[in-house]
Structure 1
Amino acid sequence: MNQPSIIEIPTPKDFHFKECLVFLGRSDQELLHRIKDGFVYKLLKIDQDPLLLKIGFIDDSLQVEFPLGKPTVKAQKMASDYVVDWFDLDRDLAGFYEMAQNDQMLPRVVSKYRGLRMIGIPDLFEALTWAIMGQQINLTFAYTLRKRFVERFGESVTFERETYWLYPTFDRIAEIEVDTLKELQFTARKAEYVIGVSQAMVNGELSRENLLKMEDYQQIHAYLTKLRGIGSWTADYVMMKCLHQSAAFPITDVGLHNAVRIQLGLEHKPTLDELKEMAAGWTGWEAYAVFYLWRSLYV
C-alpha cells in the first residue's frame, strides 16, 4: 500500500477542534464518521472511488491523511473542499461573538464553547432525509432509523478491521418502495417523504447547487417548504446544516426551547412570541445562536 499523503488546511482564529469532536461524538450510534485517538475518520466517494479521510489538528491547521493510499490531486482538492464545508471554516465568527456579548443568555455558552463551528451536512440528500427521520421522535430513535437506513442501502469500506460507511445515494433510494422503508420502522409518511425527496433530486427538481444560487433566505425557505414532508423546521435545519444560511432559525425546535429554559432558569419553556423577543438581537446569526444553545444540552 502507498504511504498516505497529507494535506494541511489552515483554520480560522476562532476554531476549537476538540469542541467539534465533542459534537461529532455525541451519539454512540453514529456510523458516518468515527472518532479515534483524537482523529475523526470520514469516508467519501470521489469519482466513484472510496476515499477515507483521517482528520487531526496540529499547529493551527487541520491535517488530512488518506489511509487507503495517495489520491489524485483532483481528489485531494475535493476532499479539502469537503472538510472546509463540513467544519464551516470559511466563516468569520467575529460578528457572532460580538453580538453574543450583549445578549441575555449567549455570553456564558459562547465563552464555554468558543471555537465550535457549525458542523454541517454538505450532502443535501443526507441533510433533508436526516431531518425528515428526526421529525416528531426523540434523537435516539432517529439515530436508530438512520443506522438501519445506512446499513441497508449504503456502501462501506473496511480498513484495519473498522467499517466505514457512505450515506445512501438519492438515485438508489428513488428506486425503492415505501414498504421497504417501513420494514426499518419508518412510518408510511416518512417513507413517502424520503422517497419523494430522492425522486425530486433524480429529476433535477432539487439540488444543492440550485438552492445555493438563490442566496436569499426567504426564497430558499419557500422553495424547500413546497416539497412534501418539508415543513418550516425541516427547511431551517437544512438551511443551517447544509446551505450555510446563518439566519436560518428553527424556532419551533424542542431542544432550543429546553436550552433557553435552562439558560434563563425559567419554570416553563418559552413561547414562540417570547423566543422571538429574546432572539431580536440575533439577526443574521440565528443559526449559530441555536447551535451553541444545542451544544449546552450535552456534556
Structure 2
Amino acid sequence: MEFTKNPNSPYDFELSMSFLAKENSEPAPYQWKDQKFRQAFRLGENVFPAKVESIGTVKEPELEVTTTDSAPKTLLKEKLTQFLKLDLDLADLYEFMERDPKLRRIKERFYGFKAPAMGSNLFQVIITAIVQQQISLQVAYHMTSLLVKKFGESVDFQNEKYWAFPSPNSLAEARIEELRSCKLSERKSEYIKDFSRAVREDRLQPEDLRGMETEEIVDMLTEYRGIGTWTAELVSVAASRNKGGKGPAADLGVRDAVSKYYFDGERQDPETVREILSRWNEYAKDVIVYLLYATRRELEV
C-alpha cells in the first residue's frame, strides 16, 4: 500500500532526516538509506513497517509512504506526522530568527529543516534520554541500536528488515546482564529496567506527559531513579505544551552550541545559557535545535 502526505511548507526532507540518522546507519530503530526513511511502528497490538521518501520539493513538499496492505493508514499517517513534525509551521519561527543576524544566517542555511522527535512515543524518548546521559551522541546511538536489535521487534518487508523500539514489557523483563550486553553501565541498565517496570505496572503512562508544563514534567519524572533534571528537561522538549520553558540548558551540547555562536566559543555555565534561552521565549526549543544542527555541520556565522 502507498499513500502520500503533504508536510507544511517549507520542508527539506533530506536535511531533516540527516539530523536523525547518518546514511546507512544501524537501526535505532529508524534508518536512513538511499534517501529513504525506514522504521517499524507499533500501532495497537501489531508492528507495521513504513518506508518514506520525498517526491516533492522544499517549497512544495510531498512524501510517499509505502507499507503493508494491512497497516492502519490513518494511524500510521498520524504517527509519522507527529514523529517527523510534518505539520510544524515554520513561519513565526523564521520571522523571529530574521531579527538576529546569527539566527538569520542559520535559518538561510537550513531552510526547511524540521528536526524529528527523539522517538515515536514518549517511552522511547525517556529511555533514549537515559542512554544518552554523560556520553557522546555517537556512542549513545550505537547503544540504542544494540537495544533495538536485542529487545525490539522487527518485521520483514520488501526484502528488508524494519525495526520497532522495544516495548516497556520487553525491557522490564530483561535481565541486567542482557542490558549490560548492549554496552550499558550497570546503573543505566537498572534505571531502564526500573522505569520500564513502572510503565508496565501502569504507575506512569509516558504519553500522559504530553501537553503538560515543563515544570510538571520535570517534577514527575525526577521521582524515578536515574532520571535527573537534565534527563527530564530533555524529555520536556518533546512533551511539554509550552514552546518556551526552561529547555535543556544543562545539556553540554546545548551549552556548547550557545557558547559557540554567542560567546566566541567560551563555554558558559547552565544558568547563563538558561538566561539566553529565556530571551528567545516561545521559540527557544526550536532555536536550540537549529543551533545544535549548525554546530554539528560546523557552520560559521
Smaller-chain TM-score range? 0.7 to 0.9
Task: Report the more deviating stretch, 23-32 or 6-15.
Answer: 23-32
Please state whether the residue corresponding to 2:161 is helix, strand or coil: strand
Say whether 1:26 aligns with 2:22: yes
Q: 2:108 aligns with which of 100, 111, 115?
A: 111
Say whether 1:236 aligns with 2:237: no
In 1, are the aligned partners of 2:37 and 2:52 still within 8 Å (CA)?
A: yes
In 2, are the aligned partners of 1:29 and 1:144 still within 8 Å (CA)?
A: no
What is the match of residue 98 of structure 2?
A: 101
What is the match of residue 190 of structure 1?
A: 188
Q: 1:172 aligns with which of 131, 153, 170?
A: 170
What is the match of residue 146 of structure 2?
A: 148
Say whether 1:80 aligns with 2:81: no
Cα displacement string for residues 62-121 of structure 1 (whole angstroms, at most 9, x for unaligned residues):
22122xx3125xx11110001110111233222222222223642221221121113011
Please state whether the residue corresponding to 2:9 is helix, strand or coil: coil
Letter in 1 for 2:3: I
Say whether 1:199 aligns with 2:200: no
Please state whether the residue corresponding to 1:294 is helix, strand or coil: helix
In structure 1, how many angstroms separate the alpha carbons of the residues matched to 2:278 and 2:44?
Answer: 45
Task: Report the more deviating stretch, 251-260 or 154-163.
Answer: 154-163
Distance 1:247 1:196, change over 3 A: farther
Distance 1:183 1:36, change over 3 A: closer
Task: Tell me the CA shift for residue 160 of structure 1.
Answer: 4.4
Task: Tell me the CA shift for residue 39 of structure 1.
Answer: 1.9
In 2, are the aligned partners of 1:247 and 1:286 still within 8 Å (CA)?
A: yes
In structure 2, how many angstroms separate the alpha carbons of the residues matched to 1:115 and 1:189?
Answer: 40
Task: Tell me the CA shift for residue 267 of structure 1.
Answer: 4.5
Letter in 1 for 2:7: T
TM-score of the two chains, using structure 1 as the length reference: 0.88
Task: Tell me the CA shift for residue 226 of structure 1.
Answer: 1.8
In 1, are the aligned partners of 2:191 and 2:225 still within 8 Å (CA)?
A: yes
Cα displacement string for residues 196-252 of structure 1 (whole angstroms, at most 9, x for unaligned residues):
110111121222332125x32222221122222111221122122355653251001
Please state whether the residue corresponding to 1:297 is helix, strand or coil: helix
In 2, are the aligned partners of 1:16 and 1:115 still within 8 Å (CA)?
A: yes
Letter in 2 for 1:185: K
Unaligned runs of 5+ in 1: none
Root-mean-square deviation over aligned CA pairs: 2.2
Distance 1:157 1:244, change over 3 A: farther
Unaligned runs of 5+ in 2: none
In structure 2, how many angstroms separate the alpha carbons of the residues matched to 1:16 and 1:237?
Answer: 24
In structure 1, how many angstroms separate the alpha carbons of the residues matched to 2:85 and 2:268?
Answer: 30
Matches within 5 A, 1:52-67: 52-59=49-56, 60-66=61-67
What is the match of residue 129 of structure 1?
A: 127
Task: Tell me the CA shift for residue 134 of structure 1.
Answer: 0.8
In 1, are the aligned partners of 2:4 and 2:65 still within 8 Å (CA)?
A: yes
Task: Tell me the CA shift for residue 28 of structure 1.
Answer: 5.4
In structure 2, how many angstroms separate the alpha carbons of the residues matched to 1:182 and 1:22?
Answer: 29
Letter in 2 for 1:141: V
Distance 1:244 1:155, change over 3 A: farther
TM-score of the two chains, using structure 2 as the length reference: 0.87
Letter in 2 for 1:102: R
In 2, are the aligned partners of 1:122 and 1:241 still within 8 Å (CA)?
A: no
Distance 1:152 1:115, change over 3 A: same
In 1, are the aligned partners of 2:244 and 2:282 still within 8 Å (CA)?
A: yes
In 1, are the aligned partners of 2:51 and 2:65 still within 8 Å (CA)?
A: yes
Aligned length: 290
Structure 1's consecutive aligned runs of 4 or more residues displaced over 6 angstroms after TM superposition are none
